[in-house]
């Protein structure tokens, strides 16, 4: 059988699969997208906070130094106070660790006091610093932040100059070691490896958690100008770029306004988006699990649907082939199970109906249809074996054997067909049981399996009608040149009746002396003659004219029986037939000897529709039963 290209299984499977997987994928994708966006916003915020905090603290660092420097320029310069100023300077050094040295400049721009942690201190009139950019700058803006310079190409320094409220207070210029900003920068940790760094306006590194980089920066090492310009362009939002060590980072810049430095907070991309990656992995694993789950679920559901349908389909096929005992087991507790139950009921009913129709057909073999229906519907036990008084009628064509030797097979069959039809009609009319046809012979039973009133009367009338029907046929046959006649024997007595047979071939039959007697009487009967045994005669002699033809010895009977013949209704047929009848050319096939029995079998086989051994053997048994 050709399966449809798109099976129900596939349809169900695909639908269920898609129904589970699609929302899952959509959900995961949406979640991942939102998580990414949130993460990015969060990262932006974190970097912003850290950079801002660093910038504020750096500003506080420089502002603190500026404020401290303000202390020493509160009073106007007077003569002879250099030593007091020197002590101020030394105290300031003690107070602010980042200050390495201080120059105090009087209102004229001359250095008056110089104190240092490293170099020797100086007091008294010193160098003229009025052109020094620190002095110029402080005079102009009160506070001046110098550019970053790297002492000995290594340590970052910056000068801060502060002027007093009045020009008379002079100016203080401090040299600041920027290495001390390291504390601020090193304290900033963004995640595990994120950090902050500070570059000046020209992109040189001022502060970095790895101070070696700063110390190297004076010699031009590092690539911070690029980083600074890239990150600064983003205007306060995070950008993805390459960090100083060549790794991809997310960075954000904030300016420390007073000193024109840029604080960059950065975190390696790998770490920054780690939670996103983790979330994506989680989503992927969920999707994978979902797909497997959907697959299994869809397969299972589709199988649950498809399996019963296949079962039903198979069942229908089997029923179609006649296997009515086929049953379907579906335990899905749903409509399919209901369907299977219905199917099984249907199969059962079909089987029962088939059996019934088989039985009726079988009954119809030997019963008139209406009787058969009656038997079927009234009582099954009618066909069971039992002993009862029956009337057996045997009929047999005369001259048929000689005819078969001459005639064509078609003609033989045509004769038999007409003969059987005539017998059948008559038997049906009298509601008798047509036990069988055997070649040119026929056996009919009365009062079995269906009982009837006065079976003897019925039997004799049936025999008369049968004789009449066949005689009228024989007339037409003889007109065509055949010499065929018909003799009938009828007897009454107890017999065992019931169905006999093997496998599918069952026949209803009667066994007993009465059958043998009827058969013998048939053998004895001449054409157009109906020979009647004494029992039937006893019943019907009042209404039917019977004439005794004397006593005959019958095989199987110890003494001779008086045989009667129904008064002749029809004119005797041609003398030729009489001759041939007397020659017993065609009346011997029910002979007692086995030889003739076999002949009968041979003929019976010719008219049996199933010419197999089973049929033959059943016929044999039938004949034995008759004997």
Nearer to other proteins, 124 or 602 (CB): 124
Q: Which of 14, 23, 60, 97 is in the footprint of other proteins by CB under 8 A?
A: 97
The CB density around residue 222, as the number of other CB atoms within 10 Å, is: 20
In the complex, least distance from residue 89 CB atom to other proteins, rounded to whole angstroms? 10
Please name which of 418, 383, 322 lies closest in space to residue 510, comparing C-alpha atoms: 383
Q: Which stretch binds other proteins (CB under 8 A): 175-183, 357-365, 440-448, 500-508?
A: 175-183
In the complex, least distance from residue 144 CB atom to other proteins, rounded to whole angstroms? 24
In the complex, least distance from residue 246 CB atom to other proteins, rounded to whole angstroms? 14
In the complex, least distance from residue 229 CB atom to other proteins, rounded to whole angstroms? 23
CA dihedral 44, 50, 56, 60 (to 10 degrees): -170
Adjacent-strand bridge partners of 337: none
* Residue 398 contacts residue 580 (beta carbons within 8 Å): yes
Considering only residues 75-94, where is the footprint of other proteins by CB under 8 A?
Answer: 87, 90-91, 93-94
Nearer to other proteins, 101 or 516 (CB): 101
Helix (H, G, I), strand (E, B) or coil at 495: strand
In the complex, least distance from residue 115 CB atom to other proteins, rounded to whole angstroms? 10
Nearer to other proteins, 196 or 375 (CB): 196
In the complex, least distance from residue 197 CB atom to other proteins, rounded to whole angstroms? 11
- The sign one gets for the Cα dihedral 159, 163, 164, 169 is positive
- 121 binds other proteins per the rule CB under 8 A: yes
Size of the residue set binding other proteins (CB under 8 A):
34
- Tell me whether residue 197 is exposed, middle or buried, using C-beta atoms within 10 angstroms of its C-beta: 0 to 12, 13 to 18, 19 or more: buried
- 415 binds other proteins per the rule CB under 8 A: no
List CB contacts of 165: < 8 A, sequence separation 6 or more: 74
- 5 binds other proteins per the rule CB under 8 A: no
* Residue 155 contacts residue 177 (beta carbons within 8 Å): yes
Helix (H, G, I), strand (E, B) or coil at 506: strand
Nearer to other proteins, 77 or 182 (CB): 182
Helix (H, G, I), strand (E, B) or coil at 104: strand
Q: Which of 45, 67, 128, 153 is in the footprint of other proteins by CB under 8 A?
A: 153
Q: Which stretch binds other proteins (CB under 8 A): 133-141, 179-187, 375-383, 535-543?
A: 179-187
What is the rounded CA–CA span in Å between residue 49 and residue 52? Answer: 5
* Residue 366 contacts residue 433 (beta carbons within 8 Å): yes
- Tell me whether residue 147 is exposed, middle or buried, using C-beta atoms within 10 angstroms of its C-beta: 0 to 12, 13 to 18, 19 or more: middle
Q: Which of 17, 77, 144, 182 is in the footprint of other proteins by CB under 8 A?
A: 182
- Site map (CB under 8 A) of other proteins, residues 183-222, x = contact: x--x------x---------------xxxx--xxxxx-x-
Binding residues for other proteins, rule: CB under 8 A, are 87, 90-91, 93-94, 97, 116-121, 150, 152-155, 177, 179-180, 182-183, 186, 193, 209-212, 215-219, 221
């Amino acid at each position: 059988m050709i399966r449809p290209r798109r099976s129900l299984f596939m349809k169900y499977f695909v639908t269920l699969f898609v129904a589970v997987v699609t929302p899952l994928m959509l959900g995961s994708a949406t979640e991942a997208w939102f998580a990414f966006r949130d993460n990015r916003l969060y990262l932006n915020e974190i970097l912003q906070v850290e950079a801002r905090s660093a910038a504020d603290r750096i500003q506080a660092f420089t502002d603190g130094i500026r404020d401290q420097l303000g202390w020493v320029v509160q009073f106007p310069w007077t003569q002879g106070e250099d030593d007091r100023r020197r002590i101020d300077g030394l105290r300031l050094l003690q107070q602010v660790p980042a200050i390495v040295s201080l120059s105090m400049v009087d209102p004229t721009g001359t250095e008056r006091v110089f104190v240092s942690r490293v170099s020797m201190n100086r007091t008294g009139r010193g160098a003229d610093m009025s052109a020094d950019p620190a002095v110029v700058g402080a005079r102009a803006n009160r506070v001046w932040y110098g550019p970053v310079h790297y002492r000995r190409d290594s340590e970052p320094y910056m000068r801060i100059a502060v002027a007093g409220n009045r020009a008379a207070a002079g100016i203080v210029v401090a040299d600041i070691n920027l290495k001390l900003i390291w504390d601020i920068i090193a304290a900033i940790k963004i995640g595990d490896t994120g950090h902050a760094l500070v570059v000046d306006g020209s992109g040189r590194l001022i502060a970095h958690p790895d101070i070696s980089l700063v110390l190297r920066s004076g010699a031009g090492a590092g690539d911070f100008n690029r980083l600074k310009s890239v990150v600064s362009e983003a205007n306060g939002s995070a950008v993805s770029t390459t960090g100083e060590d060549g790794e991809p980072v997310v960075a954000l810049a904030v300016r420390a306004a007073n000193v024109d430095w840029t604080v960059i907070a950065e975190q390696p991309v790998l770490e920054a988006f780690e939670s996103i990656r983790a979330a994506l992995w989680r989503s992927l694993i969920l999707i994978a699990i979902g797909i497997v789950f959907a697959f299994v679920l869809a397969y299972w559901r589709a199988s649950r649907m498809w399996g019963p349908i296949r079962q039903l389909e198979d069942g229908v096929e089997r029923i179609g082939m006649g296997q009515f005992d086929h049953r379907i087991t579906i335990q899905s507790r749903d409509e399919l199970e209901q369907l299977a139950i219905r199917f099984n009921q249907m199969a059962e009913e079909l089987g029962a109906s088939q059996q019934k129709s088989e039985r009726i057909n079988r009954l119809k073999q030997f019963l008139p249809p209406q009787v058969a229906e009656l038997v079927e519907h009234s009582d099954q036990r009618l066909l069971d074996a039992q002993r009862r008084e029956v009337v057996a009628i045997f009929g047999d064509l005369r001259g048929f054997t000689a005819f078969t030797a001459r005639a064509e097979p078609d003609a033989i069959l045509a004769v038999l067909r007409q003969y059987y039809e005539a017998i059948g009609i008559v038997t049906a009319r009298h509601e008798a049981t047509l036990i069988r046809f055997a070649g040119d012979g026929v056996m009919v039973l009365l009062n079995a399996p269906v009982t009837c009133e006065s079976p003897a009367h019925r039997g004799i009338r049936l025999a008369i009608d049968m004789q009449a029907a066949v005689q009228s046929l024989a007339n037409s046959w003889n007109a065509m040149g055949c010499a065929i006649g018909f003799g009938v024997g009828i007897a009454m007595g107890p017999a065992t009746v019931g169905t006999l047979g093997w496998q599918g071939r069952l026949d209803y039959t009667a066994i007993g002396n009465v059958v043998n007697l009827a058969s013998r009487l048939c053998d004895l009967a001449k054409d157009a003659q109906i020979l009647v045994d004494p029992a039937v005669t006893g019943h019907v002699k009042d209404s039917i004219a019977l004439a005794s033809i004397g006593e005959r010895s019958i095989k199987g009977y110890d003494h001779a029986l008086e045989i009667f013949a129904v008064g002749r209704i029809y004119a005797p047929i041609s003398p030729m037939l009489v001759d041939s009848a007397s020659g017993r050319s065609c009346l011997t096939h029910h002979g007692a000897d086995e030889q003739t029995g076999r002949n009968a079998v041979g003929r019976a086989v010719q008219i049996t529709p199933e010419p197999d051994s089973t049929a033959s053997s059943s016929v044999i048994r039938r004949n034995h039963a008759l004997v």
